[in-house]
Chain A
């Protein structure tokens, strides 16, 4: 684990320098005592010292051997990347497209990339996760989820579910 810890230590040291610089721009001390820059400045110094200690230990002390699975298969990285990609999609389109349309891409994409799933399972989970999930969270659990410009298309489904629940309620 020598090299990963050396790289981490260098990165942490650079981060601590950045934090120290940003803290320096804030007020360090006021007539009433420490200012907003006091705490982060000292923390950045502690982080810098720790990163130096980490680099020293990684370089000059005997290090743990790197686990066999530290660098896993290429396919594994692609799967992890797929999760990140789906999440980026959700972040970017949740507001402009609304929850239901965003998740209509999010769910099948993940199901297709994370492993082998039958086509009807993909359709079922996409509908349940997007339309069903929206309905349960907004109507039953009273959680606000974003609506998009095309959500009017779901009105018949919403009406049907509302009438179904009202019959059930009676």
Chain B
């Protein structure tokens, strides 16, 4: 069977009423998460994960994926209408989106964001369909040394791109790797850093860490800080003018390409494609000085790149088993909870699940486009919910989420511990994403490295004698060296810390 036939089968499964319902529900919940400031896609996905425990694996992953890209779109609404980014990826949209809203073009800004998101997401999913089988075939040729080198590339990128400061990015990465060392050693089975605590034998779970560092950490910061002033704007017209339509076409195409290619690289993070596409549009514009005053290109490009990235970021997960971002790491955790290991074997062993999930991306993108525009006034009204009510409910959800993964109160306590750590990270401007990524990648990387050395009887040259491994390590070295030079330039120009 070719990819198209697999996809058609996926659509048949996805159109089953239950799966369709969960896709729509996921889009709805995701948009709510995106709209609410303080609850980003990572915390939201982790928080809502327990809701999917009782579901079949396919429905569960369909719903979580829908939550993910729903949250990405939800963040745009508040960025445009109230100048408060619901999640980090939408921060750049505030610049021109809010200015457009002030000029009475908020509806057009949201419409172009929805259309761009739909196009970006759909094209990226087409890329996933086309690349899935060739990449999977290639990945099946990978041995432990190649996997180690591939993960090393992911780590080098996560470190260099996720932070303003290289030192803070590296520290975040190393801390994540150290947290990943806790539990049973993946090769010899010895307990490490458990200090007699049996709850730690399985290591730190990704859910308490993600929920704690992203969710609780952010809530602590909000509770501690002063309140954000929310400025309401009126939504007049949803349709684009001909001039706005013409101005958006090429930014949407460029945003799609940037988002798609950035999504293929593990560890890049969603901020890079959005800021990059904004920068590209500004550079290509005949009126760069007008950016920040309500240019539709400044909304169309980053919003398209954002959604294209989210869908393309699933490609490394599905084909290589490597999560490209914190949210994808949580979705990977959901796969594992259902006894599925993302990677090349998933296509072989469970094609019905993978292709149904891929088909659901098309449906989810269409649902978001159809559903979100008429519902914008409702999403905005959610911002009027008093913060004590909102955050109490969120915290209640987090307690259930933390407990129900392993039915363990130890995990509930652990979530608070990581929440305080997340608060400190945010306070000191350390990037959280590298820690989350390395917690997932760490054990895989260690296993790949030690299996490689087992193959070579302890000879480290095994990584440099296999062509794919060497190629990947050279790539990683280029990323590290280039980011080092970039950091040096920053030191000379300004400051690093």
Contact = CB atoms under 8 A, between A and B. Distances in A.
Given A4-B428, A33-B457, A47-B175, A87 B387 contact: no
A22 B454 contact: no
A76 B223 CA distance: 6
A54 B168 CA distance: 8
B90 to A, nearest CB: 21
A83 B404 contact: no
Given A26-B192, A141-B53, A90 B412 contact: yes
Nearest to A95: B409
Contacts of A142: 53-54
A39 B399 contact: no
Contacts, number: 190
Contact of B400 (A8, A40, A72, A145): A145
Which of the four size classes fits the interface of chain A?
35 or more
Given A26-B192, A110-B395, A72 B224 contact: yes
B386 A47 contact: no
Nearest to B391: A114
Nearest to A47: B174
B495 A30 contact: no
Contacts of B400: 99, 133, 137, 143, 145
Nearest to A121: B389
B282 interface: no
Contacts of B491: 61
Interface stretch (B177-185, B325-333, B375-383): B177-185
Interface in B391-417: 391-393, 395-396, 399-400, 403-404, 407, 409, 412-413, 415-416
A28 interface: no
Contact of B495 (A12, A47, A62, A80): A62
Contacts of A30: 188
Contact of A34 (B50, B413, B427, B453): B453
A165 interface: no
Nearest to B399: A90
B392 A91 contact: no
Contact of B170 (A50, A114, A116, A137): A50
A27 B54 CA distance: 41
B231 interface: no
Given A50-B170, A61-B496, A62-B495, A40 B392 contact: no
B223 A114 contact: yes
A26 to B, nearest CB: 6
A53 B427 CA distance: 20
A155 interface: no
A141 B401 CA distance: 12
Contact of A46 (B174, B428, B454): B174
B393 A125 contact: yes
Nearest to A117: B388
Interface string B431-455: 0000000000000001001100110
A7 to B, nearest CB: 10
Contacts of A133: 396, 400
Nearest to B430: A8
A70 B497 CA distance: 15
30 contacts: A1-B428, A4-B427, A33-B457, A34-B450, A37-B192, A47-B174, A61-B496, A62-B494, A69-B225, A69-B226, A76-B224, A80-B220, A80-B423, A83-B219, A87-B395, A87-B412, A87-B419, A90-B412, A94-B412, A107-B396, A110-B395, A114-B388, A114-B392, A129-B392, A129-B393, A129-B396, A142-B54, A143-B53, A144-B404, A145-B400
Closest 8 CB pairs of A and B: A142-B54, A33-B453, A115-B388, A114-B388, A36-B185, A76-B224, A79-B223, A91-B413
